[in-house]
Amino acid sequence: MENKKIEFNSLKIEELEDLFLSLGEKKFRAEQFFRFMHQKKNFEIENCKQLPKVLIEKLKEIGYINTSSIYTKYESKLDNTKKYLIKLYDNRIIETVFMDYGSYCTVCISSQVGCRMGCTFCASTKENFKRNLTSAEMLNQIYLIENDLNLTINNVVIMGIGEPLDNYNNVIGFLKIINSEKGKNLSLRNITISTCGLVHNIYKLADEKLPVTLTISLHNPFQKERREIMPISDNFSIDEILKACKYYFDKTSRRVSFEYTIIKGQNDSKKHALELKNILKGLNCHINIIPLNSIKEFDGVAPSTKYIYVFKSMLENYGINATIRKKQGDDINGACGQLRQGVLQEEN
């Protein structure tokens, strides 16, 4: 695939219209092509019968539709969770998870091939970072699953492999394309972005004034202890992250959530609950407690279910809104912190 060619399904509708105008075409042709890719979820330019054959040939000369495919699907025997291994155009593999909550369904998508954040308890960062995903490759994860299961995805969480704010421009492109009324038209309020705290890009995201839900991977309220499990803490302190969160709320009026992976004997004591109260005072927020999901490279374990509820009660007694995330897909390594990327050899 030539790098100089245009990746059509990563273009926002306005960018596609400008491109078609530059080719001497009418804007409505761009809208037809945009709907073809993002409503009909079609990956073959030749199948866009609404466009004249001459235009199709012209498009094939200057660009392409980035295609992905389902490599393998794993189905949980514990619930209706499904984990997909998605094969990208360069034969790299990412993982995407479908979760069924009855009244709605959610897809957890990846934003990078690998991750460079280095969190010790997360499988996604155990293999070297390879590259960012394009906006199209993030969209394709959703479209492939919708086509496979013959349903509509109501909610999207960008919590899979990678740090979304480390791939800022492509994530913003993804948001604007998926929200377009000429495409999938998914409400931005139904999208959650998870970050370990890239402060400069939290401010940038706030200034976009997009009403997405921001969730911070906090995992420890003490700077020194957090640094031991999250190397990113060397670059961005908890105080800096919280200031950025307040700015985000002021700009968007959207409540910020904090992910808190609870690890027995490391971040589950009364002192941790009290410090959470201290640092989050005055911030409109919510804590999502995540029982640690095991990976072979980390020897920590989750506290007992009974104790996790005790910790939740501590937080609530301190006036903090808290929930415990339900485990889903644990038997297929599809739970939070268990997603990995892999590399396939070039196929003959």
Q: Are strands 6-7 and 342-343 parallel, antiparallel or unpaired?
A: unpaired
- The answer to the question of whether 257 is labelled as a binding residue is no
Structure tokens at 235: 């670059």
Q: What length is written for the chain?
A: 348
Please, which residues have CB within 8 angstroms of residue 269's CB and are 6 or more apart in sequence? none
* Largest CA-CA distance found in the chain, in angstroms, rounded: 69
* Encoded amino acid at 138, one letter: M
Structure tokens at 295: 């990976």
In 10 A of CB 46, how many CB atoms? 12
> What is the Cα–Cα distance from 80 to 191, expressed in whole angstroms?
21
- The answer to the question of whether 217 is labelled as a binding residue is yes
- The answer to the question of whether 194 is labelled as a binding residue is yes
> What is the Cα–Cα distance from 136 to 64, expressed in whole angstroms?
11
- The answer to the question of whether 108 is labelled as a binding residue is no
- The answer to the question of whether 115 is labelled as a binding residue is yes
Residue 297 annotated in active site: no
- The answer to the question of whether 253 is labelled as a binding residue is no
- The answer to the question of whether 245 is labelled as a binding residue is no
Give how far Cα 177 sits from Cα of 33, 49, 123, 331, 345, Å: 13, 22, 29, 34, 32
Residue 336 annotated in active site: yes
Q: Given the residues 48, 105, 108, 336, select the one marked as catalytic.
A: 336
Based on its alpha-carbon atoms, the radius of gyration of the chain, rounded to whole angstroms, reads 21
- The answer to the question of whether 38 is labelled as a binding residue is no
> What is the Cα–Cα distance from 227 to 229, expressed in whole angstroms?
6
> What is the Cα–Cα distance from 293 to 263, expressed in whole angstroms?
9
Q: Which helix (H) or strand (E) holds 19?
A: helix 13-22
Q: Given the residues 25, 95, 137, 259, select the one marked as catalytic.
A: 95
Residues annotated as catalytic (active site), given as ranges: 95, 336
Residues at the binding site for S-adenosyl-L-methionine are 162-163, 194, 217-219, 293
Residues at the binding site for [4Fe-4S] cluster are 115, 119, 122
Residues at the binding site are 115, 119, 122, 162-163, 194, 217-219, 293
